[in-house]
Amino acid sequence: MTRRCSGIVLPALLALLAAATPARSQDAATLKKEMIGQWELSTTERGKTCVVTLKADSSPQGFKLELEPGCGAALPFTRDITAWSIKGLDIVRLQDAAGQPVIDFTEVESGIFEGLRQGEGIYILQNLAAARSLAKSMDQMIGDWSMVRGKGVVICGLTLTNTEADQDNFEVFLKPRCDPAVAAFAPTKWRLDRGQMILMSAKGDIWQFEADDNAQWRRVPDSADPLIMLRQ
């Protein structure tokens, strides 16, 4: 009885695996097609950037790519990158001449990939046009802001700068005579992160704001008496 079941189950299992193989290949092929073009490789705060052009042409260890001339100076590890490839179903690999990974990326949201280099930190790979749009957004954020309650009462003024506080964040300064709750929070750093404005204190406390339809930023989660950031 056992032999008969094995004779039925094994061919059926092999048939299922064979049927699954084309779907896996198609997923990798689709990802490859989506990756062809220009991408920005950067540190998480975009303080150091490099434009990478991924091509469909084959190379001995994968596919060809081009790095803009300043990549090696901005991100020294890119000097080892000679090709790219898709590994498994969803890993975009930038690799050296021997086919070994220099850095592997996985998609964390549409068009944005993250990769980790041990001892260095996280790097971002994203569509070049989207990255430049983000840079424009960052430029628009720099300057003086008012923090107001829902009824329009100004409770604090603050200045967002483009001065790096650390690898991922920029300095922010409160102006005098802030509301006690804001003064107690005392943000010292800020950044844009996946559509949110993040304010952070020296103690590690975080306030998150999201843009609404009125070109203002509301603290989330929302409340009956919302806290809003307005550009001065």
Say what the pLDDT of residue 221 is: 87
Average pLDDT, stretch 86-109?
Answer: 92
DSSP codes, the chain: -HHHHHHHHHHHHHHHHHHHHHHHHHHHHHHHHHH-EEEEEEETTSSSEEEEEEEEEEETTEEEEEE-TTHHHHSGGGGG--EEEEETTTEEEEE-TTS-EEEEEEEEETTEEEEEETTTEEEEEEEHHHHHHHHHHHHHH-EEEEEEETTS-EEEEEEEEEEESSSS-EEEEEPSS--HHHHHH-EEEEEEETTEEEEEETTS-EEEEEE-TTS-EEEES--SS-EEEEE-
Q: Which residue ranges make up each domain of the chain?
A: 13-134, 142-231
* CATH tag for 13-134 (out of 2.40.110.10, 3.40.190.10, 1.10.1740.10, 2.40.128.10): 2.40.128.10
Say what the pLDDT of residue 16 is: 36
Average pLDDT, stretch 34-50?
Answer: 88
Say what the pLDDT of residue 71 is: 94
